[in-house]
Amino acid sequence: MMQNLNKKRDIWTVVTIGILLIYAIILVYPLFTILKASVVTDGGFSLEYFQKFFGKKYYYGTLFNSLKVTVCVTLLTAVIAVPLAYIMSTIKIKGSGLLQGLIIISMMSPPFIGAYSWILLLGRSGVVTNFMKDTFGITTPDIYGFTGIVLVLTLQLTPLIYLYLMGAFKNIDNSILQAAESMGCTKVKKMFKVVIPLLLPTLLSGALLVFMRALADFGTPMLIGEGYKTIPVLIFNEFISEMGGDDAFAAAISVIVIIFALTIFLIQKLVVNKKAFSMMSLNPIEAKKEKGLKNILAHGYVYLYVALAFLPQLYVMYTAFLKTSGRIFVDGYSLESFQIAFERGSDAMINTLKLGLIALFFVVAIAILIAYVTVRRRNTLTNLLDIISMVPYIVPGSVLGIALLLSFNKPPLMLSGTMAIMIIAYMIRRLPYTIRSSAAMVHQISPSVEEASMSMGASNLKTFFKVTLPIMLPSVISGAILSWVTIISELSTSILLYTGRTKTMTVAIYTEVIRGNYGTAAALSTILSAVTIISLLLFFKLSGKKEVDI
């Protein structure tokens, strides 16, 4: 009897294996390198570096600092985002479209610009600080350290949970709420007995994302944390230290962070899987006009949040147009800062553009292929690919940066200092998100559309390029814009990988802030923000909706 050829051993198997190989080289190998570096001393196995970490409060204290920051930020974002999403979905808010757009923009801009803006406002010589001191003689609370980090990250990350929740609200059928009301469950009771339980799985997923971002964030604690060191800052310092960085120790800390993140990830999965259910709404909740106090409170809450999240960044833009004398802002307006920004930063701008576009191309191409094989060709190989491609989700950017540097610093793969290593880093970091949104799109295409194409004589490859891809294209393009925005605002990996020739805009802004050239920093930030905003406007226009799939 002839063997069955029809076992789908087709072009897609080749694609799957090809991508797996790429991942093996650019992700699995570096992670093993970092693991090896952390446990091997002088050619033998040793836990010396782990002992060092847990032996001194200076080191293990950062783990607690990170934990404290991360937990606080996660809880605060949830507490702020739930009412925000509830109000926006159930009550008609004036200008809600614009507000939604501003919330998304505030989320998509680099976090360290947020940190920088709060320093400008509430820092030692911030405008608000000085104003309060001069006018009322009041000393404003210290923005540096724990408070500042939590403030900036909370405002920055609240939109993440908020957007997740908005999606979940759309899936709650209004009749469920009406059914609850008809059974005598109303108002607050309805909120706690029906609405929140329905939102819980989504809330937990959003919270996990916030947790991972807050844990991995480097720019914010670096700028506003001052003495308050978190893990990414420690890793960076140990690795880059001017007195000769200790690679192996940085590797050991990285391993600890990964184990920590992995634990949280698994716990979350366990909880969510227990509570998972699916919802489909034919009759979504509609925002209703409210009157009186309720209306005022609802508007107040939303406007206050958007103001806090967005105005500081607007202030940064404002300062870009101020006249400067040396490093200090003086009275009057000028475009001098922009002039200097273009003089000093044009290389960085070109680099950002180049790196961003190349990385974007690979991210989109690979994400589409991975999404397709993992959805349409479920087998052991594609499951493996699915898992591997999601690993970067829990690997902080700085850890990935170190892993890549340790792995590719000698021939045959001498990549450190090149553009290639930065492109690889951006690719790995962005892929999990792009894969997820592409996979969602593939799920929406009925397999029979592809079968129809095959039955009409189109080969598997032709079917993909002539049918599947064109159907996916609109969402692929909007997904690409979002990827683009995240790639150009990346800092934590870039700061480790860049050299003089591959400096990016985020790195340039960061260095200008550190050097105290606030005018130039503001001008560069403004340019970056402008690019972000224009990209997002384009995204809104193309996708025709005021939502983003993060």
Partner 1 sequence: MSVSITFKDVVKKYGNNTVIPALSLDVKQGEFFTLLGPSGCGKTTLLRMVAGFNSIEGGQILFNEKVINNQPPQTRNIGMVFQNYALFPHLTVEKNVAFGLENRKVPKAQIPEKVEKMLEVVQIANFRKRLPQNLSGGQQQRVALARAIVMEPDVLLMDEPLSNLDAKLRIDMRNAIRDVQKKVGITTIYVTHDQEEAMAISDRIAVMNGGILQHVGTPQNIYHRPANVFVATFIGRANIIERPCHFEDGKHVIKMSEGYSVVMDNLDPNYRERSVKISIRPEEFVFSNDHEGIDAVIESSIFLGLNTHYFVRLDGGEQVEIIQESNIEKILEPGSRVKLKVKEEKINVFNRETEKSITKGVVNDAEPK
DSSP secondary structure string, 259-292? HHHHHHHHHHHHHHHHH------SSB---B---H
CB 312 within 8 A of CB 488: no
Cα–Cα distance measured from residue 292 to residue 67, given in angstroms and rounded to the nearest whole number: 42
Give me the 2-21 binding string for partner 1, x by CB under 8 A, dash otherwise. x-xxxx--------------
Tell me the closest approach of the beta carbon of residue 170 to partner 1, in angstroms.
Answer: 21
CB 546 within 8 A of CB 100: yes
Tell me the closest approach of the beta carbon of residue 311 to partner 1, in angstroms.
Answer: 43
Query: Under the criterion CB under 8 A, does residue 452 sit at the interface with partner 1?
Result: yes
CB 493 within 8 A of CB 398: yes
Query: Under the criterion CB under 8 A, does residue 543 sit at the interface with partner 1?
Result: no
Site for partner 1 in 457-516 (CB under 8 A): 457-459, 462, 466-467, 470-471, 473
Taking CB under 8 A as the criterion, the residue among 141, 455, 500, 544 binding partner 1 is: 455
CB 74 within 8 A of CB 215: no
Cα–Cα distance measured from residue 366 to residue 373, given in angstroms and rounded to the nearest whole number: 11
Total binding residues toward partner 1, as defined by CB under 8 A: 24
Q: Which C-beta is closer to partner 1: that of 466 or that of 515?
A: 466
Cα–Cα distance measured from residue 155 to residue 232, given in angstroms and rounded to the nearest whole number: 20
Q: Which C-beta is closer to partner 1: that of 1 or that of 282?
A: 1
Type of residue found at 439: A
Taking CB under 8 A as the criterion, the residue among 346, 451, 530, 537 binding partner 1 is: 451
Tell me the closest approach of the beta carbon of residue 364 to partner 1, in angstroms.
Answer: 18
Query: Under the criterion CB under 8 A, does residue 456 sit at the interface with partner 1?
Result: yes
Cα–Cα distance measured from residue 497 to residue 419, given in angstroms and rounded to the nearest whole number: 9
Q: Which C-beta is closer to partner 1: that of 388 or that of 458?
A: 458
Q: Which C-beta is closer to partner 1: that of 82 or that of 373?
A: 373
Burial of 384 from C-beta contacts in 10 A (0-12 / 13-18 / 19+): middle
Cα–Cα distance measured from residue 295 to residue 12, given in angstroms and rounded to the nearest whole number: 55
Tell me the closest approach of the beta carbon of residue 325 to partner 1, in angstroms.
Answer: 59
Q: Which C-beta is closer to partner 1: that of 213 or that of 376?
A: 376
Span near partner 1 by CB under 8 A; candidates 1-9, 116-124, 238-246, 253-261: 1-9
Q: Which two tokens stand for residue 304?
A: 């206050």
Q: Which C-beta is closer to partner 1: that of 4 or that of 139?
A: 4
CB-based contacts of 186: which residues, under 8 Å, 6+ apart? 180
Burial of 354 from C-beta contacts in 10 A (0-12 / 13-18 / 19+): middle
Q: Which C-beta is closer to partner 1: that of 24 or that of 454?
A: 454
Tell me the closest approach of the beta carbon of residue 450 to partner 1, in angstroms.
Answer: 8
What pairs with residue 41 in β-bridges? 44
Query: Under the criterion CB under 8 A, does residue 47 sit at the interface with partner 1?
Result: no
Q: Which C-beta is closer to partner 1: that of 4 or that of 278?
A: 4
Tell me the closest approach of the beta carbon of residue 178 to partner 1, in angstroms.
Answer: 29
Query: Under the criterion CB under 8 A, does residue 353 sit at the interface with partner 1?
Result: no
Span near partner 1 by CB under 8 A; candidates 28-36, 262-270, 338-346, 448-456: 448-456
CB 398 within 8 A of CB 66: no
Q: What is residue 415's DSSP assignment?
A: -
Tell me the closest approach of the beta carbon of residue 467 to partner 1, in angstroms.
Answer: 6
Cα–Cα distance measured from residue 203 to residue 209, given in angstroms and rounded to the nearest whole number: 10
Taking CB under 8 A as the criterion, the residue among 89, 389, 453, 506 binding partner 1 is: 453
**Helices 247-275 and 397-407: angle between axes, nearest 10 degrees:** 130
Q: Before 432, cis peptide (omega within 30)?
A: no
Q: Which C-beta is closer to partner 1: that of 300 or that of 474?
A: 474
Q: Which residues bind partner 1 (CB under 8 A)?
A: 1-2, 4-7, 446, 448-449, 451-459, 462, 466-467, 470-471, 473
